[in-house]
Amino acid sequence: MVVSILHFIIDLPDIDSIKEKRQIVCSVKDRIQRKFKISIAEVDLQDSLRFAQIGAVIVSNSKKYGESVLHKVLHFAEETVPGRIRDTTIFSEFY
């Protein structure tokens, strides 16, 4: 079993409230989850007004497949997020 993990930070410089940030983050998470059928969550920086830290995971039997799906997720997020994506990491763990 291979668990492939994507981790990135969304930089939202033009946000004025936590409510506005939550709206954007929830929208991005929901779109990614519906399109790719993966697990995704805001894993840190919940109280930060400017940043959101996102984690996404897919379980498969192939490192190549899992990481290719997560690269597609990252590309989709870069196109849809109204801010900048930074500090991206994709890796796999074998169990």
Q: Domain 2-94, what fold? A: Alpha-Beta Plaits (3.30.70)
* pLDDT tens digits for range 5-37: 999 999 988 888 888 888 989 999 999 999 999
| CA–CA separation, 27 and 68 (whole Å) | 23
Quick one: which of 95, 9, 3 has its CA closest to 50? 9
Say what the pTM is: 0.85
Structure tokens at 25: 């983050």
* pLDDT tens digits for range 58-76: 999 999 999 999 999 999 9
Contacts of 22 (CB under 8 A, 6+ apart): none
